[in-house]
Amino acid sequence: MSLGVALIGIGFMGKCHAMAWRNVATAFGGVPPRLEVLADATAPADLARAWGFARATGDWQAAVSDPAVDVVSVTTPNGLHRPMAEAALRAGKHVWLEKPMALTLADAQAMANLAAAHPGQVTLLGYNYLRSPAFQAARAMVADGVIGTPLAFRGVYDEDYSADPSLPWSWRMTHEGGGLGALGDLGCHLVSVMVALMGPVAELTAMTQIAVPTRPSPEGPRAVENEDSALALIRFASGAQGSFATSRVARGRKCRLQWEVHGSEGTLVFDQEHMNELWVHRAGDAGFTRHLTGPEQPDFAAFCPAPGHGFGFNEQKVVECRDLIRAIRGGAPCGPDFAAGLRIERIIHAMATSAGRPVSLEGA
């Protein structure tokens, strides 16, 4: 039996979810989902048809409660994540929610509690960079001891979409509408990668910066409330150490999700701007070896049988969609679910509040 889908939101990630739902059966087989409702305040009937949805509505609550809907994709601005996800859970639906999980740590905790009270319903957060073949291969190498014991992690996620000081003020720059700034938009992705490779965080020390304190608006200059950048030093529960940096004002950077894992017997290096390359060094090698993505890596062959032809951003989302459907049908659990998402939120909120003082996360 096919799954009925409601998609809320028609922005960048809304389109990404729509393509994933339409392409998942083509890539991985199985029964195609039924695209039932596209919900947005503009009620775009033409867009619903173009994206393959049976109908459109301007009432997201009607979409969530629709009896033909089994799973709800939420791709709206951050401030709507909690009410929409909770309404979907209470309506008996599975939930695919874009990151960040919520505006505040209290909101994320409430959402995780509600999900725990609905154990038969699957929740998944949109940390799509965990699905790239190169990352999946790297995680397997770490787990298999290919680089020995992980000793250190260095990670950066920089973009420049807010670097221009003439960029108009928006909801993204407020606590009420956006929550955290660079940490919520970008840093949480880096945290998802970091903990998948290195395990839990025990302690961190961080500082944040608002590089452009005010932005122009029709009413005049308005204050920017959340961080443009953040830096952190980290101690993992394993005893390994880490460094973390994220910025939305890094000139010239477009999607620099770059990380390294230093192990006792080797090093792994990856950069999302070159997402089809994984660099590996093993003890005794003269330098690094470039590994191109290809069908020998997880999930690549579902899209292309030839190595070196490239894997893309949207393909990651199709893999994520496949994992969600498998979990709904009783297969392997997928993640990060809301419980794991809460742990990510604890880390980024600790960074936001550290102000240079150590924050313990052990037992969190």
- Judge whether 127 lies within some domain: no
* CATH code (residue 116): 3.40.50.720
Residue 263 CA, distance from chain mean position = 25
Q: Are residues 76 and 166 in the same domain?
A: no
- Judge whether 218 lies within some domain: yes
What is the pLDDT at residue 362?
A: 80
- Residue 287 pLDDT more than 70? yes
Q: Are residues 163 and 198 in the same domain?
A: yes
**75, 92, 121 — which closes off a domain?**
121
Name the one residue in this structure whose structure tokens are 């950048």: 229
Q: Are residues 113 and 157 in the same domain?
A: no
**76, 93, 121 — which closes off a domain?**
121
- Judge whether 126 lies within some domain: no
- Judge whether 146 lies within some domain: yes
Residue pLDDT, tens place only, 244-274: 999 999 999 999 999 999 999 999 999 999 9
Q: Are residues 110 and 215 in the same domain?
A: no
Residue pLDDT, tens place only, 187-237: 999 999 999 999 999 999 999 999 999 999 999 999 999 999 999 999 999
In terms of residue numbers, what domain contains 165?
132-360
Q: Are residues 16 and 93 in the same domain?
A: yes
Cα–Cα distance, 315 to 135 (Å, whole number): 13
What is the pLDDT at residue 43?
A: 85
- Residue 104 pLDDT more than 90? yes
- Judge whether 272 lies within some domain: yes
- Judge whether 292 lies within some domain: yes
> In the structure encoding, which two tokens stand for residue 278, read together?
């994984």
Q: Are residues 160 and 104 in the same domain?
A: no
Q: Are residues 104 and 252 in the same domain?
A: no
Cα–Cα distance, 179 to 202 (Å, whole number): 24
Number of domains composing the chain: 2
Q: Are residues 215 and 269 in the same domain?
A: yes
Residue pLDDT, tens place only, 70-99: 999 999 999 999 999 999 999 999 999 999
Residue pLDDT, tens place only, 131-172: 999 999 999 999 999 999 999 999 999 999 999 999 999 999
Model pTM score: 0.97
Peptide bond into 336 cis (omega under 30): yes
Q: Are residues 324 and 286 in the same domain?
A: yes
**Residue 336 DSSP code:** S
- Judge whether 187 lies within some domain: yes
